[in-house]
Amino acid sequence: MNEDNLKMPLLGDDFPELNVQTTHGAMSFPKDMKGNWSVFFSHPADFTPVCTTEFVAFQKRKPEFDELSCNLIGLSVDQVFSHIKWVQWIKKELDVTIEFPIVAANDTVASKLGMLHPDKGTNTVRAVFIVDPEATVRLIMYYPQEIGRNIDEIIRSVKALQVSDQQGAVPAGWPNNELIGDDIIVPPASNEVDAVKNAEKYENYDWWFCHKPLEK
């Protein structure tokens, strides 16, 4: 694949419009998901060990995504009948019912999402796109084929984005940061007067590093 043809949405871009076939029937993205948060995640191939562990992990944590009003959507370039057969195998052999749709992504769809990387053959990389209710791409993660994703980190990221939209920036490892726990970072002051006020109003390490309790 020519690197010049490699395309992917960037942070702040609108999620590309896709009309696709899925294990839940024909769907249009982002229209069918607008109004909710969504996690789109691609996988290299059905009936492969790492991907199977990921899909089981996503399904096991689906109630946590539901609590965040966040949809799960899987994607790969396998045809929809392969997705259906794989879902049936997971149900029969692992006793796990995959409840979210899996997209049969053709090359056009895969290219729009940057899922096909040069020198990786026809398999898709492990991409994650977190999309907000306005269909804006808010976070992107890319994993190589040989490394399975940490689903807990994806849940944490959705939570952090939702909190940051309402309350402010979150620290590393939030909500278990080594310095400020689950506190929220106060935006640094842009002038001397506010710098003094913030240092007096909030807990801080300095005027540029103030923090406040998480509103629950």
Enzyme catalytic residues: 51
212, 202 in Cβ contact below 8 A? Answer: yes
Q: In this structure, are strands 102-104 and 18-22 parallel, antiparallel, or unpaired? A: antiparallel
Residue 151, φ and ψ in degrees, nearest 5: -70, -35
Distance CA 130, CA 123 (A): 21
The first and second tokens of residue 51, run together, are 């991907």
Residue linked to tokens 């984005």? 161
Tell me the β-bridge partners of 22. Answer: 25, 103
- Of 151, 123, 143, nearest in space to 54 by CA: 151
Residues facing residue 29 across a β-bridge:
18
